[in-house]
Structure formats: C-alpha cells, structure tokens
C-alpha cells in the first residue's frame, strides 16, 4: 500500500525541519490502515516499532511517500515494513529518508489478544 503526506508549517520544529514525532505518527497511522484493510473487522493496536533512524531532515513543502508491505503474520499479530521517501517535485526524483518495521496485535472487545482471521 502507498500513501502520501505533505509537510506543512505546523509539522516543523524550530530549526525548520519536520518533527520526528509527526513522521512516527504517520508511519503508525498509515500502517494501521494497511493492517485494517488486510484484516477487515480486526481491532489493531501497535505493539512495537523497531529501529527509528531519520536519514536526513525534511523541509516544508516536501511530499513524503509511504510504502507499506506486509512481512509476516502470526496467530494474533502482523508485521509490516514501512519505507518513507521524500519526493523532489521539480526533478521527479525521490530519496529514501526513513524505514522501520511495525507490529500490530489484534484485540477482542475485552482488550484481549485474539486470533487473526485466516487469509
């Protein structure tokens, strides 16, 4: 699954770069959407995100492309790889700026782990 975000003034820190927290929020939200689309009817919560390393700063106006790919599904959880690219709209090129793995667990109405549906 792919999704896009535009970096706006309200996303910037006092140095004029994207706050890392916004990147993490977008990664969490977009990958949650991917999991929810892959497993309709499941209620997912984020369990973990592995290595968090920002490869370069991102300025206002940048268009970020989020590429989400399912890596593994277990009995109650599913893991995705998320790669983020910054697009240069003038040249049509893009640069990889962030990558992580994120895992979600499926919960029932009582907040207990529950089995993922068979796919």
What's the alpha-carbon Rg for the chain, to the nearest Å?
16
Please indicate, yes or no, if residue 90 is contained in any of the structural domains: yes
Q: Where in the sequence is the domain holding 47, given as residue range(s)? A: 2-107
Q: What is Dmax (Cα atoms) for the chain?
A: 51
Please indicate, yes or no, if residue 73 is contained in any of the structural domains: yes
Contact between residue 28 and residue 5 where contact means Cβ atoms under 8 Å apart: no
- Per residue in 69-115, pLDDT (tens digit) is 999 999 999 999 999 999 988 888 899 999 999 999 999 999 999 99
Please indicate, yes or no, if residue 6 is contained in any of the structural domains: yes
CATH code of the domain covering residue 78: 3.10.129.10
- 0.75 exceeded by pTM: yes
Please indicate, yes or no, if residue 100 is contained in any of the structural domains: yes
Please indicate, yes or no, if residue 116 is contained in any of the structural domains: no
* Total domain count, the chain: 1
Please indicate, yes or no, if residue 89 is contained in any of the structural domains: yes
Residue 119 is predicted with a pLDDT of 62
Exposure letters 32-41 (e unless 16+ CB within 10 A, then b)? bebbeebbee
Binning pLDDT at 50, 70 and 90, where does residue 117 land? confident
Distance CA 60, CA 6 (A): 8
């Amino acid at each position: 699954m792919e999704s896009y975000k535009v970096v706006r003034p309200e996303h910037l820190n006092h140095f004029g770069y994207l706050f890392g927290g916004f990147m993490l929020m977008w990664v969490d939200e977009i990958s949650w959407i991917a999991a929810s689309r892959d497993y309709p009817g499941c209620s997912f919560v984020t369990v973990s995100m592995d290595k968090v390393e920002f490869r370069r700063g991102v300025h206002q106006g940048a268009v970020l492309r989020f590429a989400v790919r399912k890596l593994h599904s277990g009995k109650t959880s599913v893991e995705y790889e998320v790669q983020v690219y910054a697009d240069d709209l003038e040249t049509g090129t893009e640069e990889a700026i962030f990558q992580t793995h994120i895992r979600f667990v499926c919960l029932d109405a009582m907040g207990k782990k529950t089995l993922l549906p068979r796919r």
